[in-house]
Amino acid sequence: MKRNRLLIIWVLSIILGLSACSTDDSGEPVDPTDDISEPTPQPQPEPQPIDLSAYDNGNGVMMQAFYWDVEPRFGWWDNLSDKVPGWADAGIDRMWLPVATKGQSGGYSMGYDVSDYYDFGNYEQHGTVETRFGSREELENLITTAHDNNVEVIADIVINHNSGGGLEYNPYREKETYTLFDEEHGNASGMFNRNYEYFYPNSVSEYDPGSLFYEETNLDHHRDYVQEWLWKKDNSVAKYYQNVMGFDGWRFDYVLGFEPWVVKAWLDEVGGFSVAELWDGRASVLRDYVNETGSGAFDFATFYKLEEGLDRHEDLNRLNDDMLWKTHPEKAVTFTANHDTEKDSNEDNYIKSSNKMKAYAFILTHPGYPTIFYSDYENPDFQEEIKSLIEIHNSIAVGETEVLYVDDDEYVMKRSGTDTNPGLILYISISNSTKRRTVSSNWNNVTLMDYSGNSTYNPTSDENGAVTIEAPANGYAIWSITE
């Protein structure tokens, strides 16, 4: 019995020895101490953004280079000269200057009380030589600096009302009026001298379109003399600004104060970029104006829909209403703030600071020519975000526009891109929580990212382009493809 037990032990030891010497699929022996478990999954690389600079689409952005009552007085032109190179690097291609000539308020004037159209800070009148913004030499240096940085300079043109002339008896009003503009009375340059015959009413014009400002000095554009000095003569306001001062285009102030044919005649004579301040929130009115004049117009329809949707009514359905850019994108100059809206005490005329970036995200992803307000860009809380939005606008904000979804607190819009440009999807939310929504994109089996940097989510579209994107609480995201 004992010998049988020893035999059994010997056989078992041989079997165990053979089993400890297994082979892999190639037949080679495998060390029993080797780890032959499944390999540990390796982390997937983070999606990489596309190089937006490779998608330069030729778009640009205009800077409104002032706010109401800018400081420092007499140093504004130099201040802007220092900022122009940085603006150009950020993608700004035009800047709109305040009225550059002497107003009745002299060194305190923002220029809208225009007195001498040819005094750029080089004549002693109204208590100062320099304008509020500085000297003529400093203005000329600013314009040169802008052109050296491929930035066009837009002049603010006030051709409705004048201010700062001398008193004279006006037989058409049967009283004394401040309608005498000559070398001793508010027009030291001696160019475009005026008297009561060139303001409404006069010997040939009884019609007075009226004015919210200085109605007794409302220029009559039907008078040949006025037309000659404003745009026809070789040294007219238009040609002097263009050919001598170097301005590249025009922002027409308060065009409700004169007929549309005036702007058309000006542009037919001298051309140049043009945008009219027609303060009306109806897209149909703006549309009629640009068709009649050939000028662009500030898209007040978009401004008010943004204010209503984000602020007043908190209903993003308003963002799907009629706006000028929908029919005339090349003529619609969009904006979220300007010198008037920011100083206006009417809360329905400005967009709250807490909603500004959502408004900028809208105008910088939709068609139209966006304007950045100086005070917003120079706000350290906003600047980097605005720079990022400008980069997106000047690269992937292209293609047909389609609203994919809209309700009271969500708005999703797609730019279709082109054969060589991926386009984008904008998702705005005014909800207090993160929102996600599945939409139809133009991208199949592609991982996306938010180029605004407001979301770290990286969804992947399916084979049909369907993808679930998100918007942060009370914020926005801008989706496009990754490498």
Tokens of 265: 């005649």
For the stretch 235-241, contacts whose Cβ atoms lie closer than 8 Å and that sit 24 or more positions apart, written own/partner, are 235/191, 237/117, 237/118, 237/157, 237/159, 237/192, 238/266, 238/269, 238/270, 239/269, 239/270, 240/118, 241/155
| pLDDT value of residue 38 | 52
Cβ-based neighbours of 170, under 8 Å, separated by 6 or more: 176, 177, 179, 196, 216
Q: Taking the mean position of all CA atoms in its chain, how far away is CA 74? A: 27
**Distance set, CA 144 to CA 78, 243, 371 (Å):** 12, 13, 22
Tokens of 428: 């705005």
Q: Taking the mean position of all CA atoms in its chain, how far away is CA 418? A: 22
Examine residue 380 and say whether the peptide bond preceding it is cis (omega within 30 degrees of 0): no
| pLDDT value of residue 361 | 99
**Which residues pair with residue 114 across a beta bridge?**
103
The dihedral region occupied by 475, where left means phi > 0, alpha psi between -120 and 50, and beta the remainder, is beta
Total Cβ atoms within 10 A of residue 6: 10
Tokens of 320: 């799907």
Helix, strand, or coil (residue 431): coil
| pLDDT value of residue 27 | 42
Helix, strand, or coil (residue 270): helix
Cα–Cα dist 276/259, whole Å: 12
Cα–Cα dist 22/443, whole Å: 50
Contact between 431 and 411 (Cβ < 8 Å): no
374 phi and psi, to 5 degrees? -50, -50
**Distance set, CA 65 to CA 81, 96, 335, 358, 377 (Å):** 11, 6, 13, 21, 10
Q: ∠412-416-420 over CA atoms, to 5°?
A: 145
3-state helix, strand, coil in the chain (%, to 5): 35, 25, 45
469 phi and psi, to 5 degrees? -110, 170
Question: In order of start, what are the domains of the chain with their CATH numbers?
Answer: 52-397 (3.20.20.80), 404-481 (2.60.40.1180)
pLDDT in tens, the chain (483 residues): 434 443 443 434 433 343 433 333 344 443 443 343 455 555 667 899 999 999 999 999 999 999 999 999 999 999 999 999 999 999 999 999 999 999 999 999 999 999 999 999 999 999 999 999 999 999 999 999 999 999 999 999 999 999 999 999 999 999 999 999 999 999 999 999 999 999 999 999 987 666 677 889 999 999 999 999 999 999 999 999 999 999 999 999 999 999 999 999 999 999 999 999 999 999 999 999 999 999 999 999 999 999 999 999 999 999 999 999 999 999 999 999 999 999 876 788 999 999 999 999 999 999 999 999 999 999 999 999 999 999 999 999 999 999 999 999 999 999 999 999 999 999 999 999 999 999 999 999 999 999 999 999 999 999 999 999 999 999 999 999 999
pTM of the model: 0.90
